[in-house]
Amino acid sequence: MKRTFLQIIVLAVILLAVCAVCRAATRDTYMASFPIGARDVRAEDIRFSDETPGVVDLGEPEIKDGWMRVPVRPEHAGETFIEISDGADGEFGLLHFEVNRFGTVYDGLTGGFSGDSIALAAFTAFCLTVAAIMYHAYRGANGSAFYAYGTMYAVGFALFSLLTGLTMLEVTLRHVFQPHTYSMLSAYSTISGASWRFMMLTALPVLLFAAAMTVSNIALVRHEGFSFKNVLGVGIGLALTAGEALAFFLYSRDFSGSEWQGRLWRTLCNVYATGFAWFECMLIGAIICGIKAARRDPPMGADYILILGCRFRKDGTLTPLLRGRVDKAIAYWKRQREETGHEAVLMPSGGQGADEPMPEAEAMRRYLVQQGIPEENIVTEVQSRNTFQNMQFSKALIEQRAPDAKVVYATTNYHVFRSGVWARLAGLSAEGMGSRTKWWYWPNAFMRECAGLMLNHIPQELVLLAAMNLFFGMLSLVLE
C-alpha cells in the first residue's frame, strides 16, 4: 500500500505541473459569460464602466443565445467591479474580477478562473487514474500478500475514485462545451458533493444488500434461536437503510438563511455523506476481499497445513463447522500427496476453553487419526485462545522444526481473509482455504468478520476518514 500511496502522490505532482504549464500557455484566454436573457442588445452597443481601471482589459463582447461572452485579459494584480450598460436601457449588469500576482483572472460571479477547464480535466484524470492504480494494486496482491488491509482499502476506494472520476468527466465536458450554462460554481458543488453522489449511485446495491442480510438473519434465528450476534446483520441492514434515507432527506430539504449559514449547512451535509461513503468503501472492500479469499485455492507444495480451531461438542466430537475445516485440510493433504508425492504436516491449532473437556487441537487430532492420517504427520498447537494466537504460536512451532516451510491454513470460508490478515500481523507467510457453511449462517458470520477487521484497525481508519472529511468539508465551506 505504501507503493500505491507513493504512486498517487507522484501522479498528483505530475498533474499539478501539467496544470501550471498549461496555465502559463493560456494566460490571456479567460472568457467571461453573462446572461442577457430576452433583452434586445447588440454587441456594438455594450459599454463597460470599470470601477478600478488597469486590473483587467475586456475584449469585444459576443452575444449569442441570450448570453454575452467577453474575453478578459489580466493587466495588474487587484480587484474590480465593472458595470454593463447599453445605449437604450442603461446599466443592466455587473461583472466582478480579481487578478492575483501570477496573472490569474478569477470571476467572482461564476467562480471561473483562467485555465479552469484544464484544472477540471486534470482532476478528472487524477480520479480515474487513482481508480486504475488502486485496482491494479488489488489485482496484483497475490499469495500471502493478498491478506492485508491495503488490499481491502484498494478495492473499496478504487470504486469511489472510479465513480467520482466518471462524475467529474461529465462535469468537465459540460463546462468545456457549455461554459455559459454550467459554471465553475456548479463544478465546485459537484466536487464537494462527491460523497453524496457516491451514496446515490450505490444506493440500490446497498439497499439490496441490507435486505439480503435481513433475510439471512431471519433464517439464522429460525435455525439457532435469538441472540445479539444472530441479529447483527439486521441491525447493519437497518443502519444502512436509515443512513441512505437520512442523506436523501438532508440533501432534499430547502435551506433558508445567510450565505455562510448555507455554506455551513452544506458542509455538514457533505461531512455526513463522506463519513457514510467511507463506511461503504470499507464494507465493499471487506466483502469483495472476503469473497475472493473464500474462493481461493492455495497451490500445491505446502509443508504445513494449519487448521484453525473453534468450539466442539462436550463429548469430544467435532461440530459440522469444525469438521468442515478439518475435512478441507484433509482433502488438500490427500490431493497434494497424489499430485506431488509430498506429505505435509497437519497442525491443528486451538487451546482449551473453560467449558471444553480438552484442547480444540486435541479434538481435531483424534478426528484426523480416525480419518486415516498417520500420527507422524500431525503436530498440535494447544495454547492459542484466538485467531492471532493460532498464527503466532503455530509460527513458533513451525520455525523450530522447519524455518523455511511453506504454510497454508484451513478455516471456514467467511473467516479466510481475516485469518490471513492476522497471519501477516503475526509474521507468518501463509495462504488460506475455506470450507463451506450453510447459506443462512455465512452472511451474518461474514459481517462479524468485516466488523472485526474494521474495529482492529481503528486508528488508521480514523486518519483516512478525517482526511476525507477535511478535503470535502473544506471544499464545501470555501467554494460553494
Residue 215, C-alpha cell as written in the block: 433475510
Contact of 208 with 140, CB cutoff 8 Å: no
Check if the beta carbon of residue 443 is closer than 8 Å to that of residue 210.
no
Is 351 part of a structural domain of the chain?
yes
125 and 248 housed in the same domain? yes
Q: Give the separation between CA 70 and CA 126, rounded to whole angstroms.
A: 31
pLDDT at 380: 94
Count the domains in the chain.
3
pTM over cut 0.85: no
The answer to whether residues 447 and 309 belong to one domain is yes
For residues 152 and 285, is the Cβ–Cβ distance under 8 A?
yes
Burial of residue 61, with CB atoms counted within 10 A of its CB: 0-12 exposed, 13-18 middle, 19 or more buried = buried
Residue 112 lies in a domain: no
Please tell me the distance from the alpha carbon of residue 161 to that of residue 163, in angstroms, as a whole number.
6
264 and 322 assigned to the same domain:
no
469 and 450, same domain (yes or no): no
Let me know if residue 95 belongs to a domain: yes
Per-residue pLDDT of the chain (480 residues; tens, 9 = 90+): 678 878 888 888 888 888 777 777 766 678 888 888 777 777 787 888 888 888 988 888 888 878 888 998 998 899 999 888 876 666 778 889 998 888 888 998 888 888 888 888 988 999 999 999 999 999 988 888 899 988 988 999 899 999 999 999 999 999 888 887 788 888 888 887 888 888 888 889 888 888 888 888 888 888 878 877 778 778 888 888 998 898 888 887 766 666 667 677 778 888 888 888 888 888 888 889 988 998 888 999 999 999 999 888 888 899 999 999 999 999 999 999 999 989 999 999 999 887 888 999 999 999 999 999 999 999 999 999 999 999 999 999 999 998 889 999 999 998 999 999 999 999 999 999 999 888 777 777 777 787 777 777 778 778 878 887 777 766 665 555
CA dihedral (461, 464, 470, 471) positive or negative:
negative
In a domain, 47, yes or no: yes
The domain in which residue 341 lies consists of: 304-454
359: CATH: 3.40.50.620
Q: Is residue 236 within 8 Å of residue 213, measured between CB atoms?
A: yes
Q: Are 323 and 277 part of one and the same domain?
A: no
Phi-psi region of 27 (alpha: psi -120 to 50; beta: other; left: phi over 0): alpha
The verdict on 172 and 309 lying in the same domain is no
Same domain, 127 and 100: no
Please tell me the predicted confidence (pLDDT) of residue 89: 60
CATH number of 99's domain: 2.60.40
pLDDT value for 46: 84
Domain boundary among 43, 72, 107: 107
* Contact of 320 with 412, CB cutoff 8 Å: no
Tell me, yes or no, whether 340 and 417 share the same domain: yes
Burial class, 155, CB count within 10 angstroms (exposed 0-12 / middle 13-18 / buried 19+): buried
My answer on whether 270 and 402 are in the same domain is no
Residue 314 and residue 183 in contact, taking contact as beta carbons nearer than 8 Å? no
Torsion of CA 206, 209, 210, 212, to 10 degrees: 160
pLDDT number for residue 398: 94
Q: What is the 3-state secondary structure (H, E, C) of the chain?
A: CHHHHHHHHHHHHHHHHHHHHHHHHCCCCEEEEEECCCCCCCHHHCEEEECCCCCEEECCCEEECCEEEEEEEECCCEEEEEEEEECCCEEEEEEEEEECCCCCEEECCCCCECCHHHHHHHHHHHHHHHHHHHHHHHHHCCHHHHCCHHHHHHHHHHHHHHHHHHHHHHHHHHHHHCCCCCCHHHHHHHHHCHHHHHHHHCHHHHHHHHHHHHHHHHHHHHHHCCCCHHHHHHHHHHHHHHHHHHHHHHHHCCCCCCHHHHHHHHHHHHHHHHHHHHHHHHHHHHHHHHHHHHHCCCCCCCCEEEEECCCCCCCCCCCHHHHHHHHHHHHHHHHHHHHHCCCCEEEEECCCCCCCCCCHHHHHHHHHHHCCCCHHHECCECCCCCHHHHHHHHHHHHHHHCCCCCEEEEEEHHHHHHHHHHHHHCCCCEEEEEECCCCCCHHHHHHHHHHHHHHCCHHHHHHHHHHHHHHHHHHHHHHC
Q: Are residues 236 and 342 in the same domain?
A: no
Q: Give the pLDDT of residue 255.
A: 63
Residue 339 shares a structural domain with residue 464: no
Domain-located, residue 22: no
At which of 48, 80, 107 does a domain end? 107
Residue 177 phi, psi (nearest 5): -95, -15
Q: How far apart are CA 52 and CA 87, in angstroms?
A: 22
Q: Does a structural domain hold residue 442?
A: yes
As a whole number of angstroms, the distance between CA 236 and CA 56 comes to 57
Chosen domain end from 73, 107, 141: 107
What is the reported pLDDT for 195? 86
Q: Are residues 450 and 473 in the same domain?
A: no
Q: Would residue 358 count as lying in a domain? A: yes
- The answer to whether residue 259 is domain-embedded is yes
Output the furthest CA–CA distance in the chain (Å, rounded).
104
